[in-house]
């Protein structure tokens, strides 16, 4: 009688064991490769993010460097106005960075420092006088409008250049604009210089604030006590309704261009002329133990109301004036 044998031979069991080991080995290898690829992918993404962050940081640093290298200056000087009173603003933009400023545009804001009486609006006109650059020009068109009280950081600009221009590295562009108002009023102003970022192409802005004083809107001069210039002003009327004003001698010398050799003594005058009126501060006395002089107002119009002007001139000619 023969019996069937269901047990595998030793050779077949060994082959099955080898196949299982190979499959397990391949599985382990695949897992290892997958883990390595995942780690490489995570490292690559991390490196890319780090590179992007570094590029962003470098762009910000470069933008800040360029902005800090842009010097904006505004100088006001009294000028003849076709109406009312006016001043010329000489605007200068100096690029001290090694990178040119591309597509540069200049904007101007103005506002009155004091709120005007209801119904007494002040009209403002801004127009170009001269262009002093070789790169295409900072050219303003003529702009007319009402001068409002408020903040120069609010609202749309009052005037801006008609076209953009490039400012080369190390270059300076200048222009001169006339600012005319139909009433004597102190103003605040802001100039904004906009240009393209060399890294991102976004618009960068550099701003500078400035003030326009009454003395920059008036024709100011000095008439010494023994000067022939004093004679025509002896006919001015005293404004008795306004109290006397104390002014700083050093500031008065600068504002009224008093010659160094001329002394300031009683009866000399600090003269301020506009198209419609002539005003003067007549020296009454020099205050002891101070560097101030006490003055009263005289004017060609005896009905002049100088209460507001007195306060503003006290601000501009006093020791506490930091405007």
The 10s digit of each residue's pLDDT in 21-72 is 776 766 777 777 777 777 777 777 777 777 767 766 777 888 888 899 999 9
Tokens of 90: 């000489």
pLDDT digits (tens, 9 = 90+) for 152-200: 887 888 999 888 889 999 999 988 999 998 888 899 999 999 999 987 8
Distance of CA 165 to the CA centre of its chain: 18
When pLDDT is cut at 50, 70 and 90, the band that residue 96 belongs to is very high
pLDDT value of position 18: 65
Average pLDDT over residues 297-315: 78
Under the banding of pLDDT at 50, 70 and 90, the label for residue 16 is low
pLDDT at 84: 66
- pLDDT value, residue 275: 75
Q: What is the mean pLDDT of residues 93-111?
A: 92
Residue 322 has pLDDT above 50, yes or no: no
Using CA atoms, how far apart are residues 254 and 10, in angstroms rounded to an integer?
Answer: 117
CB 191 within 8 A of CB 107: yes
Cβ contacts of 153 within 8 Å, gap of 6 or more: 109, 190
* C-alpha–C-alpha distance, residues 170 and 94, integer Å: 7
Residue 13 confidence class, pLDDT cut points 50, 70, 90 = low
Cβ–Cβ < 8 Å for 225, 265:
yes
Cα–Cα distance list, 270 to 66, 77, 87, 223 (Å): 45, 18, 19, 6
Percent of the chain with pLDDT over 70: 81
What local confidence, expressed as pLDDT, does residue 298 receive? 85
What pLDDT is recorded for position 211?
Answer: 92
- Could you give the CA distance from residue 107 to residue 140 in angstroms, rounded to a whole number? 9
Measure the CA–CA gap between 292 and 137, rounded to whole angstroms. 45
Contact call for residues 247 and 319 (beta carbons, < 8 A): no
> Residue 96 in contact with residue 183, Cβ under 8 Å?
no
Read off the pLDDT of residues 119-137 as tens digits, 9 standing for 90 and up: 568 889 998 886 554 445 6
Q: Does the pLDDT value for residue 299 go beyond 90? A: no
pLDDT greater than 50 at residue 321: no
- Section 102-110 average pLDDT: 93
Burial 117-151 (b: 16+ CB within 10 A, else e): eeeeebebbbebeeeebeeebbebeebeeebbeee
Mean pLDDT along residues 260-287: 87
Q: What is the rounded CA–CA span in Å between residue 113 and residue 185?
A: 8
For 201-216, b where at least 16 C-beta lie within 10 A, e where not — what string? eeebebebebebbbbb
Could you give the CA distance from residue 39 to residue 16 in angstroms, rounded to a whole number?
35
Question: CA of 31: how far to CAs of 18, 76, 285, 293, 314, in Å?
Answer: 20, 77, 99, 94, 85
The string of DSSP codes covering 141-197 is PPEEEEE-BS-TTSSS-SEEBSS-EEE-TT-EEEEEEEEEESS---EEEEEEEEEE-
For the entire predicted model, the pTM comes to 0.73
């Amino acid at each position: 009688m023969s019996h069937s044998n269901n047990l595998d031979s030793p050779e077949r069991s060994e082959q099955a064991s080898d196949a299982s080991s190979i499959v397990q080995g391949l599985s382990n290898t695949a897992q290892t490769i997958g883990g390595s690829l995942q780690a490489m992918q995570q490292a690559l993404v991390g490196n890319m993010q780090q590179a992007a962050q570094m590029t962003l940081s470098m762009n910000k640093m470069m933008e800040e460097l360029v902005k800090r290298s842009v010097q904006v200056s505004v100088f006001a000087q009294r000028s003849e106005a076709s109406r009312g009173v006016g001043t010329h603003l000489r605007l200068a933009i100096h690029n001290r960075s090694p990178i040119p400023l591309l597509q540069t545009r200049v904007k101007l804001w103005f506002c009155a420092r004091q709120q005007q009486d209801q119904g007494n609006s002040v009209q403002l006109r801004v127009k170009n006088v001269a262009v002093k650059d070789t790169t295409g020009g900072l050219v303003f068109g003529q702009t007319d409008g009402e001068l409002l009280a408020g903040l120069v950081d609010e609202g749309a600009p009052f005037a801006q250049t008609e076209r953009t221009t490039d400012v080369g590295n190390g270059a300076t562009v200048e222009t001169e604009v006339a600012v005319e108002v139909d009433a004597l009023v102190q103003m605040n102003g802001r100039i904004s210089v906009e240009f393209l970022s060399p890294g991102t192409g976004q618009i960068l802005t550099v701003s500078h604030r400035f003030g326009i004083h009454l003395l920059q809107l008036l024709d100011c001069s000095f008439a010494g006590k023994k000067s022939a210039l004093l004679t025509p002003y002896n006919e001015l009327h005293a404004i008795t309704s306004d109290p006397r004003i104390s002014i700083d001698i050093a500031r008065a010398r600068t504002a009224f261009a008093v010659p160094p050799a001329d002394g300031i003594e009683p009866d000399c005058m600090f003269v301020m002329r506009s198209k419609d009126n002539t005003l003067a501060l007549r020296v009454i006395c020099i205050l002891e133990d101070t560097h101030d002089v006490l003055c009263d107002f005289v004017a060609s119009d005896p009905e002049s109301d100088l209460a507001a002007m007195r306060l503003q001139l006290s601000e501009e000619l006093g020791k506490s004036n930091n405007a």
